Structure 1
């Protein structure tokens, strides 16, 4: 009976024998563990793991039930316990990426499909109205015009390159909607990135800067534990993210164009740009096409301006060179962040120096 099982939380960073057993169990089930998983909840029959599920932020990952225990209600109880654990930590808006054949199991536990990539992955969340409610709130910020632009921006940190992209979009459009990537998987946290963007664009009047949203899917949080091939991961991520954007966000705001900078170095970002042509512009019965506008990166001394280069200069205390690549607002903000040798960012900077010896791939 299901009541004979006990449940136990296992923290991934613990490096204990229990965590080793979790990894072994998942491996036997053909699954891996994404780096962002914080902990697992395991169902035990005695000391044997018969099911487990992980939590990474507000995303449930690596859900598995042993073959001999399937059909006994273990998965439903496991999901209920895992969701309760997430709620205890104040995480109420939950997602699951999974294989299409697992839909019914998660739907029975209160999750509803948002979008899918045929034969690859489906995205579900624990509400059937939250996305609609979000889009209704967005629609209140809709601006009229023949050409309504959009930009999705991480800005880690905000540079003249970002500023150039927004200036160009604003000059071409009646209005521009800028969405800040919410996930805190970058060197600079979401709040600081948002503040730098807002300060750096304060003089451009036909731009709305939208707070971060869980419906802008970050590549950093997209699962790879059941999509083993990197090409499949990249394809599935772009498909999920861009379908949500086109069918829901763009529709709510009347967006007609999306603006991006060219990607000369990072192959993942370049692939994403290429896929935008397919997912945004192809005719569809679900939503109007969104025209993609790709403009050359702004350069400084014949070199593309990138946030990764700015971070490299920052890590090496090359403030004069850094100053050439960022607006005054960003420069002053960074100076303030790093003014205290005991600050969180100084600690992160020292850690980054020890783990990286070269400039990272160029990325906006």
Structure 2
């Protein structure tokens, strides 16, 4: 059965083909995440017998007909999928899977780097990828008793972000700031990184780190094989913080992680609460890391919490004149460079 088959490369924009792929995945209790761009699909005649998706450098929605699972076909599908990614210049690949599938993906050249118990494992296609990244970090390690860290999206960089960085830096011998590497936000990774760089250039003991796949973005985290959103969020938190505590923090001697209070977003607030447990849990390797929660900055009249989401709303729908109450001058100048027309009235909010 299925002695002959062909592989096809299909864009997720091809609705007709995607209908068949979605139906096949549904039979395997899987779905398609919004960020998947392409599929490699194996057809035997008109029937789909296997498929796998590519979302940036993450492989997702990999499914194989039951009759072919454990056969040589499985590895052929993985070979076709990784070859397609390589042709697009995506050489460093990741995938999330259930623990029961780890053995197969190891045979396909992937190596486990983190897990969320019996729910999920994260693998990459190089044995020493995380080790090499940590070795690069060690070259930026500075001595000191109190080494702080912040992980920041900054979409865009606000006075609240600036306040958090300045306060943290004053309390630490040195402070490492990691920028979340993801696209799909209102502002690109490149623009967010530049706004952070400009808005923190006056802080002498700050070390700014470019984005990395090892700071796990919620935007790219898989939802296609876990249906419960609460479980998805918990798995994301566990995997992200496991890598941070066991690999990233020891490489830089990090002792503290700073966060802002989160009164508006339930998901982020839950992440912060879980962080305080994960970074001191005896179940994880690595030294304990103290979490320092800093109250959110408010506008001068104390009426409004300064948040990036409020700024995005003001830019899109509201009165741009009050943005000086929310943004440092460096961000205002950068947004003007991006063709945002901002009239400044600092007493408007």
TM over 0.5: yes
Deviations 1:215-258 (A, max 9, x none): 00000100011111011101100000000000000010000000
Unaligned segments of structure 1, at least 5 residues: 341-364
Give the superposition deviation at 1:112: 0.2
Q: How many residues align?
A: 339
CA distance in 1, matches of 2:226, 2:111: 21
**Conserved? CA contact 2:142–2:174, under 8 Å:** yes
- Which residue does the alignment assign to 2:14? 14
- Which residue does the alignment assign to 1:50? 49
- Which residue does the alignment assign to 2:347? none
- Which residue does the alignment assign to 1:225? 224
Deviations 1:262-299 (A, max 9, x none): 11011110110011011101235621011000111001
**Conserved? CA contact 1:2–1:74, under 8 Å:** no
- Which residue does the alignment assign to 1:83? 82
- Which residue does the alignment assign to 2:331? 330
Q: 1:28 to 1:2 in 2, by over 3 A?
A: closer
Matched, 1:254 2:262: no
Q: Match of 2:10, SS?
A: strand
- Which residue does the alignment assign to 2:91? 92
5 Å-filtered alignment, 1:34-49, equals 34-49=33-48
**Conserved? CA contact 1:79–1:109, under 8 Å:** yes
Give the superposition deviation at 1:71: 2.5
Give the superposition deviation at 1:163: 0.3
Q: Match of 1:34, SS?
A: coil
Instruction: List, as ranges, runs of 4+ consecutive aligned residues in structure 1 with deviation greater than 6 Å.
Output: none
- Which residue does the alignment assign to 1:272? 271
- Which residue does the alignment assign to 2:304? 303
**Conserved? CA contact 1:2–1:73, under 8 Å:** no
- Which residue does the alignment assign to 2:4? 4
Deviations 1:60-115 (A, max 9, x none): 00000011222222221111101000000010110010000000111001000001
Unaligned segments of structure 2, at least 5 residues: 342-349
CA distance in 1, matches of 2:259, 2:340: 33
- Which residue does the alignment assign to 1:110? 109
- Which residue does the alignment assign to 1:72? 71
- Which residue does the alignment assign to 1:121? 120
CA distance in 2, matches of 1:159, 1:307: 6
Q: Match of 2:220, SS?
A: coil
State TM-score, norm by structure 1.
0.91
